[in-house]
Amino acid sequence: MTNHDASAAVERLYNTYPFPPEPLLDEPPPGYNWRWNWLAAYSFCTGQKPIQQDIRILDAGCGTGVGTEYLVHLNPEASVVGIDLSAGALDVAKERCRRSGADRVQFHHLSLYDVEQLEGEFDLINCVGVLHHLPDPIRGIQALAGKLAPGGLMHIFVYAELGRWEIQLMQKAIALLQGDKRGDYQDGVKVGRMLFESLPENNRIVKREKERWSWENQRDANFADMYVHPQEIDYNIETLFELIDASGLEFIGFSNPSYWQLERLVGKNEELLERAKGLNSREIYRLIELLDPEVSHYEFFLGRTPLVKADWSTDEELLGAIPERNPCMDGWPSKSLFNCDYQIISLSEDELEFLQACDANSEQQRTVGQILMDGKLGLEGVRSLLKQQLILLTPG
């Protein structure tokens, strides 16, 4: 299949099954994804709150606009542009954003390869679930990198091969049974559904589907996107960093850093940890995914220099910083709430008091040191809140 044929096949799939198939709402969408919140994402990547909030955001491969809608509502001073290959998906995206009042967005029927046709550069580029469906992902990421402004961030999501092994098997099985009907995506969904109904309950592919995917795959659009997609490239750590290196951008880090800690797997064995000290970071990432091959995707940030970072390693720097509460927090104010990753956390009375002071700090502009003088929390407690992404810091 040529690159043109592959792109045309992908466009036909998403015209047949616009994706994601989330319902349209007459109000802003619920909750948040902190990776789409400029304040939270920038703080995660640099250690500090961004100076500028009236930024330009590109949602590259926006589909039906689920992420685009969030990008508009989570970033009230930003202007947003969405592009996609599927005209059918774009129609849904436009209606979605119209109905929820996401009015700071423009849509263009455009391939990632042709992103240079857009005016100007972007401070944040969001590209979720797209590059792995391109026949030439390196060309795609290089095209996007060319539109990233200096000091800008790119958020990317691509598939991982180890956690999608059973999906790959089913994709190939459906294609074999379809024969010359390949490209008829409704027939592909029909064949796939029949296979899952017919296979034994203890079949490995069936068990994996029930464990991980069956709830979302009740919808045909999800099922088609997973099992009858005409173009997919899955990655491992080695091939992933070939893609990243080709972008010419800085790898800032995975946005689920706790998964990529070797200590969670072999932390009880000091000799193994000592042996791992001879490995570089990429080799450690590869070791982790080999030992715990559950990861079905990689989600990470890239950046274009100059990207100023703060580590708050000295007490003087931290005491002089101006803190604010991270906006991506559900259940506030309470000692028990959901953090940015929607994990339940419990705050101590001292932590709650400090966060309440941070909440009022947009007007007062008090430093960490000034707030600590009125409470019982210490500097290590502040560092713990920062590590948990519960606060944002601005240099004083």
Residue by residue, DSSP assigns 67-99 as HHHHHHHH-TT-EEEEEES-HHHHHHHHHHHHH
Torsion of CA 136, 140, 145, 147, to 10 degrees: 150
What's the pLDDT at 350?
97
Contacts of 36 (CB under 8 A, 6+ apart): 67, 70, 71, 74, 75, 126, 155
Mean pLDDT of 143-147: 98
Residue 62 CA to its chain's centroid (Å): 13
Confidence of residue 303 (pLDDT cuts 50, 70, 90): very high
Q: Check pLDDT > 90 for residue 151.
A: yes
Mean pLDDT of 123-138: 98
Look at residues 128, 130, 127, 109 and name the one whose alpha carbon lies nearest to residue 118: 109
What's the pLDDT at 361?
78
Strands 322-325 and 336-338: unpaired
What's the pLDDT at 351?
97
Type of residue at 255? S
Task: Specify the range with the lowest mean pLDDT, choosing from 170-184, 318-332, 356-370, 376-390.
Answer: 356-370
Residue 177 CA to its chain's centroid (Å): 34
363 vs 158, higher pLDDT: 158
Contacts of 356 (CB under 8 A, 6+ apart): 333
For 218-238, the pLDDT digits (tens) are 999 999 999 999 999 999 999
Mean pLDDT of 170-184: 97
For 21-40, the pLDDT digits (tens) are 999 999 999 999 999 999 99
Q: Check pLDDT > 80 for residue 1.
A: no
Q: Check pLDDT > 80 for residue 41.
A: yes
What's the pLDDT at 363?
76
Q: Check pLDDT > 90 for residue 362.
A: no
Mean pLDDT of 281-285: 98
Q: What percent of the chain has pLDDT over 90?
A: 96
Lookup: tokens for 284: 């450690």
- The reported pTM is 0.96
Quickly count: other Cβ atoms within 10 Å of residue 102's Cβ. Answer: 21
